[in-house]
C-alpha cells in the first residue's frame, strides 16, 4: 500500500531512516518461537504434522438415477447438463465385486491406486451383507402411480411394465396397495395379499381405467399413499411407499420441503420411500429431494431392459430392502496425506455436518477421492489409515465397524479400484462439458478424449462389459460435442419455416403463415434466446419464438410497441370444453403463427411444448395487464370444429401473467440470459390433445399485450408430435 513502492532501497535492505530518528528495532521473536541452531549444529527435527480427520457421506447405496439419465440423454443425442451428474450415484449403479462382511452386518474395504506423481485414488467400500430374495422380510408395498397428462405414452408404458413385473415377483404372503393421482388421488387397490390379488382385474384397471390425463398434484398422491401405508402397516414387514412418476408437479402450495416431509414423518414408522422416475419431463431435483428425505432409493427407468434390471432378484433386494441405517464414515489420514478431490455427496471436518445414510443388502457405499502424499516411498508406505463406519442395525443399538490399514497393504491396482477410477473419470468428464457445443468444442473434446484414454487403458485389462458400454456412450457424446446435437429427421437445420422449426412432419402440413403488424420482428426461429445457455431446443436445432414485441429485445420491460393501433382479442369460443365469454376487449401487438394440418391416419393425439415469458411478471399480476398466449385449435373432433384454446393452467385459466404456472415452486425456470431474467416464465410446458386420424385441423399460436403495449411477452414453441395413443387434453410441466 502507499503508492505501490516496494519498500526496499537500492541495496535491497531496509529503507533508510528519516533524519532525526533512529531506525526502528526489529521485533523480538515470541518466547516459544523456534530458534536457529548454534553454528555447527544440525537443526532439531521438525514436529510431525497432525493426522487429517474427515467425515464422509456417499448417499444411500441404492440411489442410482443419475447415470441412467445421462445415458438416456447421450443416446438421444442431447446435452447432459452437469447439474444432473452425481458421481456417487454412478458408483452406486455400476457393478463392483466387493465381498460381503465376514463378521457383522458391515464390512470395510480400502484400496489405494497410484495415479502418477504424488497423487492417488482412494476407494473405500462399506459393504452390506448378502441377502437372497427369499431371505428378505416380506414386503408391504404401497405403489403410488402418477396418472397425469405428462405420463402419457412411453412413460406410462414403462410404469405399467414395472407394476406388472413387481406384482408377479411378490411372494404369496406379501402385500401390495395401489394409489393413483393426477389432480386428485384415489385408492385403486387397498392393501392386499399377493395370494388374494386379482391380477387380471389390476391389469385391466391399469390399461383402461387409469389412462393418463389432467394435471399433477404429487402432494395429494403422497399424502394419500402414506395414509394408506400407515393404515396397512405390518410389523415384521418391509413397509414401503414406491412412487412411480416423472416428478413434474404443478399443483399444491407447500413445495418440495413439505412434500418430502410426508416421507420424513413416516420414516419414524419405518415406512421408507422409493422413487422410480421416468419420462422426458421428469423433475430430477424434486425426485432426489423426496427420496432423500424418505430414506429410500431413487432410480430412473429409460427402457424396458432397465425395468428388468431393477426386478432382477439381487437388485430388487438392494433397491427395496435396508441392511443398516445411519451410516457415516470417519476417515483418519496419517501425516503427510492431503485431500485433493472428493467424489461423494458430503465431506466435513465434524460428524454433525454429515447426514447419515442407509446401506442395503447386496450393495456397498463407495467413497471415492483423489489424495496426495509427497513423502518418500518408505515413509509413505508406513503410514496407517483408520476407517470407522458408524451404523445402526435394524433393530439394534448404534455400533461402529473399524479398520486400520497401512498404506503398503492398500496400495495396488485391484480390479475394483481400477473400475471405480474409470467410472469416476466418466462422470467427471460429463461435468466438464459446456454448452453451446460450438463455443466450447476444443475444451469439450479434450475432456472427453482424456476420459476415453484412461478408461480404455483400464478396460484393456479388465474387459468389463459395463466399461465397454461407457466407452460406447463417450464415443456417441464425442460425436455430439464435435458436430452439435443431431436429429436425422429434423427439418429446421437449414429452414426457418414455422412448421419445420416446430418439428412437424412435412407430409402433415398443408399451409403455414404468420399474422401480425411486424412479423419479421415478432416471430423468429432461434437456436437460443439471447445469451441463455439453459433454454435449449427440445427438438431439432431451433425453436420458434412468437412475441408481442421484438424477439430478443434486451429490455422487454421497455416500450416494444409494434402496431399503430389495437385489434380485437382473439379469444376463441371455448377453453377446453368450457365456453368462453367474449367481452370485445381490444389488445395490443397481437402476432400469430397459423398452421393448417392433416392428422396421420394412425394419430389419436398430438402434443407440443412451449414456454411463456412475460415482463409483466411479477409487478403487474392481477392488474389488468394480462398478456396472454393462446393455442387455438379448430378441428371437427373438438367442440364441433369451433375455435378452442387447448393450453391452460390447473385452474382452467389461459396461459397468461395471472396463471398458476408463474407460481411454479416445483420446477426450475431457466430465465438467465433470456432478457426476462428478473421477470417470469412458466418453464417448459407440454400440451397434449386428442385428435381423429385423417381429420383436417388448424392450429393457431397467438401472443398479445393487454392493457398497454409497454411490457412485452413471448412464447417459445417446439417439439410438435403426433401420437398413436389417446389423450384427454392437458397441459403439464416439463423439467
pLDDT at 280 over 80: no
Cell triple for 304:
424396458
Helical (H) or strand (E) element with 309 = helix 304-311
CA distance 199 to 194: 9
- pTM recorded for the entire structure: 0.81
CA distance 127 to 123: 12
**Predicted pLDDT at 555:** 79
**Residue 318's closest CA among 130, 176, 162?**
130
pLDDT at 84 over 50: yes
Task: Identify the weakest region by mean pLDDT among 32-41, 127-136, 340-349, 456-465.
Answer: 32-41
pLDDT at 147 over 70: yes
**Predicted pLDDT at 30:** 46
For residues 432 and 48, which has the higher predicted lDDT (pLDDT)? 432
Q: DSSP assignment of 670-713, as one string?
A: --TTSS-TTSEE---EEEEEE--TT-EEEEEEEEEE-S-SSS-E
CA distance 505 to 600: 10
| pLDDT tens digits along 681-696 | 888 889 999 999 999 9
Q: Which residues contact 455 (CB under 8 A, 6 or more apart)?
A: 422, 425, 426, 467, 470, 471, 474
Q: Which residues contact 651 (CB under 8 A, 6 or more apart)?
A: 659, 660
CA distance 320 to 258: 24
Report yes or no: 499 and 538 within 8 Å, Cβ to Cβ.
no
**Predicted pLDDT at 617:** 82
Tally the C-alpha atoms within 13 A of residue 368's C-alpha that lie toward its C-beta: 24
Look up cell 486400520; give the residue.
404
**Residue 79's closest CA among 486, 467, 422?**
486
DSSP β-bridge partners for residue 547: 714
270-274 average pLDDT score = 86
Q: Which residues contact 31 (CB under 8 A, 6 or more apart)?
A: none
CA distance 692 to 688: 13
Q: What is the DSSP letter of 693?
A: T
pLDDT at 20 over 60: no
336-349 average pLDDT score = 95
Hey, how many other C-beta atoms are within 10 angstroms of the C-beta on 518?
A: 13
Helical (H) or strand (E) element with 435 = none
First to last CA, the chain: 51
CA distances from 685 to 131, 207, 670, 718, 720 (A): 44, 26, 13, 10, 12
- Residue 104 Ramachandran class (φ > 0 left, ψ -120 to 50 alpha, else beta): left
pLDDT at 16 over 60: no
195-202 average pLDDT score = 95
- 659-690: buried (b, 16+ CB within 10 Å) or exposed (e) per residue? bbbbebebbebbbeebbbeebbbbbbbbbbbb
pLDDT band at 212 (very low <50, low <70, confident <90, very high): confident
656-664 average pLDDT score = 70
In the three-class reduction of DSSP (H, G, I as helix; E, B as strand; rest coil), residue 577 is classed as coil
**Residue 297's closest CA among 229, 362, 203?**
362
CA distance 368 to 401: 19
198-219 average pLDDT score = 87
Task: Identify the weakest region by mean pLDDT among 390-404, 423-437, 528-542, 595-609.
Answer: 528-542
**Predicted pLDDT at 252:** 54
Rg (CA), the chain: 31
Task: Identify the weakest region by mean pLDDT among 96-100, 259-263, 415-419, 601-605.
Answer: 259-263
**Predicted pLDDT at 13:** 38
**Predicted pLDDT at 627:** 87
| pLDDT tens digits along 377-405 | 999 999 999 999 999 998 788 999 999 99
CA distance 406 to 310: 38
652-680 average pLDDT score = 74
pLDDT at 285 over 80: no
| pLDDT tens digits along 236-258 | 899 999 999 987 665 555 555 65
Hey, how many other C-beta atoms are within 10 angstroms of the C-beta on 471?
A: 18
Report yes or no: 145 and 181 within 8 Å, Cβ to Cβ.
yes
CA distance 694 to 81: 39
pLDDT at 370 over 90: yes
Q: Would you call the peptide bond into 395 cis, given omega within 30 degrees of 0 as the criterion?
A: yes
207-228 average pLDDT score = 86
Amino acid at each position: 500500500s502507499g503508492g505501490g513502492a516496494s519498500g526496499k532501497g537500492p541495496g535491497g535492505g531496509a529503507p533508510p531512516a528519516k533524519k532525526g530518528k533512529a531506525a526502528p528495532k526489529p521485533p523480538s521473536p515470541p518466547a516459544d518461537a523456534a530458534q536457529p541452531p548454534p553454528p555447527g549444529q544440525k537443526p532439531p527435527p521438525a514436529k510431525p504434522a497432525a493426522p487429517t480427520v474427515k467425515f464422509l457421506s456417499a448417499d444411500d447405496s441404492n440411489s442410482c438415477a443419475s447415470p441412467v439419465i445421462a445415458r438416456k440423454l447421450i443416446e438421444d443425442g442431447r446435452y447432459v447438463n452437469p447439474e444432473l451428474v452425481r458421481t456417487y450415484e454412478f458408483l452406486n449403479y455400476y457393478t463392483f465385486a466387493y465381498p460381503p462382511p465376514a463378521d457383522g452386518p458391515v464390512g470395510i474395504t480400502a484400496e489405494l491406486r497410484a495415479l502418477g506423481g504424488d497423487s492417488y485414488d482412494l476407494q473405500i467400500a462399506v459393504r452390506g451383507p448378502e441377502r437372497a430374495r427369499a431371505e428378505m422380510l416380506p414386503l408391504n408395498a404401497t405403489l403410488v402411480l402418477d396418472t397425469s397428462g405428462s405420463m402419457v405414452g412411453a412413460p406410462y408404458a414403462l410404469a405399467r411394465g414395472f407394476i406388472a413385473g413387481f406384482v408377479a415377483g411378490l411372494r404369496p404372503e406379501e402385500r401390495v396397495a395401489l394409489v393413483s393421482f393426477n389432480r386428485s388421488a384415489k385408492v385403486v387397490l387397498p392393501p392386499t395379499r399377493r395370494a388374494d390379488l386379482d391380477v387380471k382385474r389390476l391389469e385391466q384397471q391399469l390399461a383402461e381405467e387409469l389412462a393418463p390425463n389432467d394435471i399433477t398434484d404429487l402432494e395429494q398422491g403422497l399424502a394419500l399413499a402414506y395414509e394408506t401405508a400407515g393404515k396397512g402397516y405390518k410389523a415384521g414387514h418391509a413397509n414401503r411407499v414406491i412412487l412411480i412418476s416423472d416428478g413434474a408437479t404443478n399443483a399444491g402450495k407447500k413445495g418440495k420441503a413439505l412434500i418430502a416431509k410426508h416421507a420424513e414423518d413416516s420414516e419414524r414408522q419405518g415406512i421408507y420411500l422409493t422413487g422410480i422416475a421416468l419420462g422426458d419431463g421428469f423433475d430430477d431435483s424434486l425426485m432426489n429431494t423426496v427420496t432423500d428425505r424418505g430414506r429410500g432409493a431413487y432410480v430412473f427407468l429409460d427402457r424396458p431392459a432397465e425395468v428388468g434390471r431393477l426386478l432382477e432378484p439381487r437388485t430388487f433386494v438392494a433397491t427395496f430392502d435396508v441392511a443398516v441405517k445411519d451410516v457415516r464414515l470417519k476417515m483418519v489420514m496419517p501425516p503427510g496425506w492431503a485431500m485433493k478431490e472428493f467424489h461423494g455427496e458430503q465431506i466435513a471436518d465434524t460428524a454433525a455436518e454429515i447426514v447419515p445414510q442407509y446401506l442395503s443388502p447386496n450393495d456397498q457405499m463407495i467413497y471415492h477421492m483423489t489424495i496426495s502424499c509427497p513423502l518418500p516411498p518408505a515413509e509413505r508406505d508406513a503410514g496407517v489409515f483408520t476407517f470407522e463406519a458408524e451404523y445402526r442395525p435394524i433393530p439394534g443399538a448404534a455400533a461402529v465397524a473399524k479398520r486400520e490399514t497401512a498404506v503398503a497393504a492398500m496400495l495396488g491396482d485391484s480390479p475394483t479400484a481400477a473400475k471405480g477410477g474409470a467410472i469416476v473419470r466418466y462422470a467427471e468428464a460429463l461435468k466438464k462439458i459446456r454448452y453451446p457445443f460450438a463455443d466450447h468444442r476444443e475444451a469439450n473434446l479434450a475432456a472427453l478424449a482424456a476420459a476415453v484414454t484412461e478408461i480404455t487403458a483400464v478396460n484393456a485389462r479388465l474387459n468389463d462389459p459395463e466399461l465397454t458400454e461407457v466407452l460406447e456412450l463417450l464415443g456417441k457424446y464425442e460425436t455430439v460435442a464435435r458436430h452439435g446435437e443431431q436429429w436425422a429427421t429434423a427439418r429446421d437445420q437449414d429452414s426457418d419455416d414455422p412448421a419445420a422449426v416446430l418439428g412437424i412432419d412435412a407430409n402433415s402440413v398443408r399451409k403455414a403463415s404468420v399474422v401480425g403488424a411486424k412479423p419479421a420482428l415478432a416471430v423468429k426461429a432461434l437456436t437460443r434466446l439471447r445469451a441463455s445457455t439453459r433454454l435449449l431446443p427440445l427438438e431439432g436445432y431451433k425453436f420458434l419464438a412468437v412475441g408481442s414485441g421484438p424477439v430478443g429485445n434486451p429490455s422487454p420491460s421497455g416500450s416494444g410497441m409494434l402496431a399503430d393501433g389495437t385489434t380485437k382479442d382473439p379469444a376463441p369460443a371455448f377453453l377446453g370444453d368450457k365456453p368462453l365469454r367474449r367481452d370485445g376487449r381490444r389488445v395490443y401487438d397481437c402476432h400469430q403463427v397459423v398452421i393448417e394440418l392433416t392428422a396421420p391416419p394412425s394419430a389419436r393425439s398430438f402434443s407440443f411444448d412451449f414456454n411463456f415469458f412475460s415482463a409483466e411478471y411479477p409487478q403487474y399480476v392481477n392488474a389488468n395487464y394480462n398478456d396472454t398466449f393462446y393455442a387455438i385449435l379448430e378441428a371437427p373432433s373438438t367442440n364441433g370444429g369451433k375455435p378452442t384454446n387447448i393450453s391452460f393452467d390447473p385452474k382452467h385459466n389461459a396461459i397468461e401473467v395471472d396463471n398458476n404456472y408463474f407460481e411454479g415452486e416445483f420446477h426450475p425456470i431457466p430465465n438467465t440470459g433470456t432478457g426476462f431474467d428478473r421477470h417470469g416464465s412458466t418453464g417448459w410446458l407440454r400440451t397434449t390433445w386428442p385428435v381423429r386420424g385423417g381429420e383436417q385441423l388448424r392450429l393457431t399460436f397467438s401472443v398479445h399485450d393487454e392493457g398497454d403495449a409497454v411490457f412485452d411477452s413471448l412464447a417459445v414453441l417446439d417439439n410438435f408430435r403426433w401420437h398413436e395413443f389417446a389423450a384427454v387434453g392437458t397441459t403439464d410441466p416439463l423439467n
